[in-house]
Structure 1
């Protein structure tokens, strides 16, 4: 009998997503749960694929399905189900009317791939760019070099989020997004951009309205060791890791 890990799905959590991974093929390892638990283990612990405990499926099998589900959009569909369910359980509409956008600079390892230097944060690596709802659930993810300004990628990211919610009306952001984005959002998507700033005049850190929500989401990611640094060579793989952590967090609320 396999050892249980804290990253494993419970029966009730699995019940909410199993139809997406339903398969009529019979194999040694349950593709609907065993493989997903193994993937969550990698994201949670930060271990290399080759260092998966032997009680899971062979690492080659786990990685194959991770790559396949990433390319076919399966991970994104699972996240969509989980975040809608988490919102409904919290008494909210399945789709949000307001979202918050922000990014964080993350140092990169020697894995290679997309990289830049954020002179403001003094970080060499990438920017992890997300759009989250007011519950903290991720609706769009983008990865780009740390030297590229967030406003260059904001519109594309918001467009993706807008396609997933018919109720969307407003986007909250900090002053880094101020500029042409306001007019562009209104003309292209009919959305309202609201720049939030702290009311405090004291020097140092202060909580900004609405933006604390997305900062909390970044804080949640801190509990997932695979997200502590940028270990992935490909940006799309890095984005998939963020979606997987968001998926597991949302499932924990169901």
Structure 2
């Protein structure tokens, strides 16, 4: 039993979102050996502790098996579906509508490891790596997530994220952003949806102050620090980075629900 393992109550919340036990069983082949809960505990252990797949403790299933499930659940969208369903449950549990009416957008540049994969140089932050670009609701829960090369500007990538917001979250009427989104993105946003407002919050010169409304998205980035796997981008594929972010948020939201 590890501190990162799911409790019985937490597993009851997650269990309905996973397929029936026989979904991945071949008609004529070796039966599945490991319970989904044990597989999930191993994946969450990697996310929380930051260890390599091959360094999983021996009381977990073999690392190759664990990674295969992690990869399959990324490819079939299980991580995102589970994350989105839990987000709606958390919102309803605090007497909010499942569909938010306001959001905040921001990006975080992080260094990458020596593995191959898409990366770039962020001239503003002086970081060679990737950006984690997120849109969150007023609770700090992720609505849209995209991990991409750090060389892509916030305005260009912000256009893609806000297009997803407009498409999938019809009730959003206001979005907060920082000064990095001024100019082109403002014009595009108002041209696309004039009934919605994009508010650019400005920071006073010479001192640090907590910006109203936008501190929520900064807090979400702070939550990532609770997962050592997210301290740096160790993944070859940006899609794997996104999956580990979803897993981090799943762990946080499950704790809120029990």
Please report the TM-score for the alignment, with normalisation by the length of structure 1: 0.92
Q: Can you list the C-alpha shifts for 1:187-244, whole angstroms capped at 9, x where unaligned? A: 435532111124xx46132111111111101011011100000100111111111111
Residue 246 of structure 1 corresponds to 249
- The alignment partner of 2:198 has SS state of strand
Aligned counterparts of 2:205 and 2:129: Cα–Cα separation in 1: 31
After superposition, the C-alpha distances for 1:107-151 in whole angstroms (9 at most, x for unaligned) are: 111012111122221211111111111101111111122122111
Aligned to 2:28: none
1:11 corresponds to 2:8? yes
Q: Secondary structure at the match of 1:252?
A: helix
> Does the alignment pair 1:217 with 2:226?
no
- Could you tell me which residue of structure 2 aligns to residue 28 of structure 1? 33
- Within 5 A, what are the aligned runs for 1:81-96? 81-96=85-100
Query: Which one of the candidate residues 188, 192, 197 is aligned to 1:192?
Result: 197
| 2:76 alignment partner in structure 1 | 72
Partner of 1:181: 185
Aligned with residue 117 of structure 1, among 117, 121, 132: 121
CA root-mean-square deviation: 1.6
Q: How far apart are 1:27 and its partner, in Å?
A: 2.8
Could you tell which deviates more after superposition, 95-104 or 154-163? 154-163
1:91 Cα deviation (Å)? 2.0
What's the CA shift for 1:29? 1.1
Does residue 39 of the first structure (1) align with residue 39 of the second (2)? no
**In 1: Cα distance, 2:166 partner to 2:253 partner:** 20
What does the per-residue CA deviation read over 1:23-56, in whole Å, with 9 as the maximum and x for residues that have no partner? 232632112x211111111111001111111111
Structure 1 residue corresponding to 2:209, chosen from 202, 206, 211? 206
Change (3 A) 1:160 1:247: farther
Relative to structure 1, the CA distance from residue 191 to residue 220 in structure 2 (aligned partners, 3 Å threshold; closer, same or farther) is same
1:157 equivalent among 149, 158, 161: 161
- Aligned counterpart for 1:232 among listed residues 226, 232, 235: 235
Q: Once structures 1 and 2 are overlaid, which stretch shifts more, 182-191 or 219-228?
A: 182-191
The runs of 5 or more residues in structure 2 that have no matched partner are 23-30
Inter-partner Cα distance in structure 2 for 1:242 and 1:86: 17
CA contact (8 A) 2:100 2:137 kept: yes
CA distance in 2, matches of 1:163, 1:68: 27
Preserved CA contact (<8 Å) 2:156 2:185: no
140, 145, 155: which one aligns with 1:141: 145
Q: Distance in 2 between matches of 1:152 and 1:125?
A: 17
